Amino acid sequence: MKNSRIILIFCFSIMMSFPVFSDDFNIGVEGIDYYPIYAKRDGLYSGYARAVLDAFAEKEGHKFTYKTLPIKRLFKGFIKGDVDFKFPDNPYWQKNLKQGKNVVYSDSVLEYIDGVIVKPKFISKGKDRLKTLGTLRGFTPWEYLDDISAKTMKLKEGSSLKGLIQMVQANRIDGVYFNVIVAKYFMANTLSQKDSLVFDKSLPHTRGDYHMSTIKYPKIIDSFNRFLTENKSLVESIKAKYEIPSF
């Protein structure tokens, strides 16, 4: 009996020394309206990103809970371990905050372009006319940081895309640095003002990819990568459903 108790205690201690694998995970997501890529609509996280992540979860038997947070708080919560995964993420974002942490990134979930949208009459008029550039609070206009530091350009942060667009239309700012997919969709479907502001591809812009990241569960990222590779036609059909162009 004594030996049996010792064996049980030993086995319990071994089990406690390894993390317990769970099929239930939470994903930290940005609490902003970035539709059709992602947004919180009627209290639910929705859009292209959720459709892809849910398709993966269903295939693998996982359950994902989406935790929407402000951008800056989301980064801090991710580093502290308050969430299991973060979406979107990118190796270039908040490098200093991630220093010393073994952050693992998935393959690309979506390619994006962040650029400046302006009134059509200002297309190809050059960067010098951008005296005041708007962007969403918490976002970084990477291609214009030197101009802002040199004070040849002012940065105006806003709390919503609608507010920033209205400032351009009222000539209070010269352009908005934003995700091109989201801005185009918003202009056409929410404001019903298609092409009243357009992406000026002649201006400096950023191309990159949205990834899912984790510190806790790298093996789940491995299986997610396999899902993306083996289900490309499914991912493309989800893109089409949400009017996401392929660059």
Beta bridge partners of 157: 135
- Give the pLDDT score at 9: 43
- CATH code: domain 22-111+209-241 is 3.40.190.10
Check residue 5 and give its pLDDT. Answer: 52
Give residue 238's pLDDT.
98
How far apart, in Å, are the Cα atoms of 134 and each of 88, 169, 184? 22, 12, 16
Are 189 and 39 contacting, i.e. CB atoms less than 8 angstroms apart?
no
Question: Over the chain (247 residues), what is each successive 10-residue block's mean pLDDT?
Answer: 46 42 86 93 94 97 95 93 97 91 97 96 95 91 96 94 94 96 93 91 96 97 98 97 87
For domain 112-207, give the fold.
D-Maltodextrin-Binding Protein; domain 2 (3.40.190)
What does the pLDDT read at residue 23?
85
> Which residue in the block uniquely carries the two structure tokens 């949205």?
210
Domain 22-111+209-241 identical in fold to domain 112-207:
yes
Domain assignments of the chain as residue spans, ordered by start: 22-111+209-241, 112-207
**Would strands 206-214 and 110-118 be described as parallel, antiparallel, or unpaired?**
antiparallel
Return the pLDDT at 139: 85
